[in-house]
Structure 1
Amino acid sequence: MKALVLAGGRGTRLRPLTHTSAKQLVPVANKPVLYYGLEAIRDAGITHAGIITGDTGAEVRRAVGDGSRFGLEVTYIPQEAPLGLAHCVLIAREFLGEDPFVMYLGDNFLVDGIAGLVESFGRHACDARILLTKVAEPRFYGVAELGQAGEILRLEEKPEHPRSDLAIVGVYTFSPSIHRAVREIRPSARGELEITDAIQWLIDNGYSVRSHLVSGYWRDTGRLRDILECNRIVLERVETRVAGTVDHLTEVSGRVVVEAGAVVENSVLRGPLVIGADTKIVSSYVGPFTSIGSGCALRNAEIEYSIVLDGSSVEGVSRIAHSLIGRNVEVSRATGVSNTHELMVGDHSRIQVST
């Protein structure tokens, strides 16, 4: 069995961060989201993965390399434009051959991996098995209607009146039958070849399409709140490890990870949290569910339930919460005229300030 990993797309919901970085490489607990997916593929016993890349292909290649660090052999498949998930299957035909495969959207996050899905697909022969999860607001998702035996009867994309509360998760397993389906369908109204249309084609033409329910936590990390929630879930599982330097004036409580080369002085650390390598924290408060990247600097600052990427600094600011701060960003207290905010902000940013 092979894997087809989708790491293209433009990540419009995470701009401006994704103007300069792949959305699949946004870190959760200081590890890119894509890495969790590649590890899940390896843990399911798959060794060959094709990675679909788009505009950020060079960055994805640098991050993943030849795949050996994950126990995978990786083939890169460029997609000239985001023409749909089914189009990804179409252009990966040579790589996939006649092998069954799992298709994994690289910005999806599954705590318990995909081993159960892959095992179920191999044990009970079918042409497609789709991962589903119950959601509170199914009208915002692709929704599956099931038969009594768990077979999928119908798929609907963001229906106004959903027939079920089962949302389609961005992980699928397919037999080679899917190759005919993606050739038969036509672009949707938004100009893309939709994988839901291809699966519906299988259903309508008598192929066997079955479901598999997610047993653990799942999120699509395309929005800020979902990334922060994934960060929280991963940090809930960390174990205390202090490889850096924490002085005697610092108060530490909860599960805390301080990577090698990091220095913490006269501060308060309340876990769970992770502090990256070579970061310096002085006279600051770092609260629960916070990930600070490598090479960062915090001085006289307060932050919690947030993610700070590599090379950024926060000085004299309190309190930051529910935030995602990009790479090489400077956040500091304004000086000069009181009650004045001085900002340099890129396109598609969102700023909230106290009045």
Structure 2
Amino acid sequence: MKALILSGGKGTRLRPLTYTGAKQLVPVANKPILWYGLEDIIGAGITEIGIIISPETGEEVKAKTGNGEKFGVNITYILQEKPAGLAHAVKVAQPFLGDDSFIMYLGDNIIQSELQTFLETFKKQDLDALIMLRKVSNPSAFGVAKVDENGQVLQLIEKPKNPPSNLALVGIYFFSKTIHEAIDNIQPSARGELEITDAIQKLLDWEKPVKACTLEGWWLDTGKKDDLLEANRIILDTQLSPSVKGEVDEKSQIIGRVQIGTGTKVVNSSIRGPVIIGENCYLENCFIGPYTSIADEVTLIEGDLEHSVVLKGAKISGIHQRIVDSVIGQRAQLGVANMRPKALRFMIGDDCQVELS
């Protein structure tokens, strides 16, 4: 059994951050989104992992994630020259996958459930495809499945105008080698891509064994800013272990579950968890509210921040209005001159400089 993680694409929904970096490396609770899927796969006992990368961001993904040594696995990087669909990514990866069954995991997805249970179902029932479904309120934005009461998949439709159900396809799939033949027998969709839903539909047309499992826990597709912030909130709520390794002066107050990294200094500040703060940061005269993640080497002086994600090396100073629901890119600088009080919300890309006046 192998695994294929998709970490290509242009990440248009997370611009401007993704003009300068891979969307799968944007951190949630100070860990790249990509690594959550990688760890899920490793937890299922799979050690041969291929990662699909794009020409634009592939080198960054390789530099950040490495060859798998630090995770105890073997990682092979596979270049997809253009984003021509999920099924196209499988086609490109066929030399790596060979005749092995595999898990395909979209690199910007995070799920609560462990993969092992689904993997056992896939193997025991000798399936050609096992798809994972989740009830959603807006099914027309996803691939949608129609299933019977036994979990047998009857039909798949990509982003239907009139959805046959509210069951969206989660970005995690289990396939046997038969999927390669199915992909060879489909044509590009109206948007010019080889759709994995069409390939699975081909398996259904051939009456191959295709089943569905419904996720009961949460599923997070982090493709947009609000989705990213929601993922950050849930991960901090459910997985944060409190730990203070940095320096916190006697004038500061730490309340609730807070993690502070080595080399970080907190001066005359109040931090109300759940909050994670990385290494070598400097915070002075700040209030950091719940559901905030601050990466390494960030400087915050006289700031008020809540429900936000701040990336590595950013600097925020002198803003006395509360910043909420924001994502601040790497090395971005945010300052203030004179302004009327108001709540502030930002989506700021890497290396920007913003001054409010």
Q: TM-score, normalised on structure 2? A: 0.94
Show the counterpart of 1:46: 46
Q: Distance in 2 between matches of 1:123 and 1:315?
A: 57
User: Stretches of 4+ moved more than 6 A in 1?
Assistant: none
Q: Deviations over 1:25-49 (max 9, x none)?
A: 0000000000011000000010100
Unaligned segments of structure 2, at least 5 residues = none
CA contact (8 A) 2:2 2:97 kept: yes
Q: 1:29 to 1:126 in 2, by over 3 A?
A: same
Shift of residue 251, structure 1, vs aligned partner = 1.2
Which residue among 323, 327, 343 is the counterpart of 1:324? 327
Shift of residue 339, structure 1, vs aligned partner = 6.0
- Number of aligned positions between the proteins: 347
Q: Deviations over 1:263-307 (max 9, x none)?
A: 001001000000110000000000000001110111110000000
Show the counterpart of 1:299: 301
Counterpart residue type for residue 188 of structure 1: S
Shift of residue 215, structure 1, vs aligned partner = 2.8
Show the counterpart of 2:109: 108
Q: Distance in 2 between matches of 1:346 and 1:264?
A: 26
Identity, % of aligned pairs?
49
Counterpart residue type for residue 324 of structure 2: A
Which residue among 334, 338, 344 is the counterpart of 2:337? 334
Q: Deviations over 1:161-182 (max 9, x none)?
A: 2111110000000011001011
Show the counterpart of 1:82: 83
Which residue among 243, 248, 251 is the counterpart of 2:250? 248
Shift of residue 113, structure 1, vs aligned partner = 3.4
Q: How does 1:152-167 map to 2 (within 5 A)?
A: 152-167=153-168
Q: Deviations over 1:183-210 (max 9, x none)?
A: 1101111111110110011101111110
Shift of residue 250, structure 1, vs aligned partner = 0.5
Show the counterpart of 1:25: 25
Q: Secondary structure at the residue paired with 1:168?
A: strand
Q: TM-score, normalised on structure 1? A: 0.94
Structure 1 residue 239 corresponds to structure 2 residue 247: no
Show the counterpart of 1:280: 282
Q: 1:175 to 1:137 in 2, by over 3 A?
A: same
Counterpart residue type for residue 135 of structure 2: K
Q: Deviations over 1:116-136 (max 9, x none)?
A: 221211121111000111112
Shift of residue 111, structure 1, vs aligned partner = 2.4
Counterpart residue type for residue 31 of structure 1: K
Q: How does 1:1-355 map to 2 (within 5 A)?
A: 1-54=1-54, 55-236=56-237, 237-317=239-319, 318-335=321-338
Q: Distance in 1 between matches of 2:253 and 2:62?
A: 40
Counterpart residue type for residue 304 of structure 1: E
Q: Distance in 2 between matches of 1:124 and 1:176?
A: 15
Q: Distance in 2 between matches of 1:112 and 1:202?
A: 26
Q: Distance in 1 between matches of 2:144 and 2:136?
A: 10
Q: Distance in 2 between matches of 1:100 and 1:213?
A: 21
Q: Secondary structure at the residue paired with 1:63?
A: helix
Q: Distance in 2 between matches of 1:91 and 1:328?
A: 35
Shift of residue 217, structure 1, vs aligned partner = 1.2
Q: Distance in 1 between matches of 2:281 and 2:114?
A: 31
Q: Distance in 2 between matches of 1:41 and 1:310?
A: 27
CA contact (8 A) 2:6 2:51 kept: yes
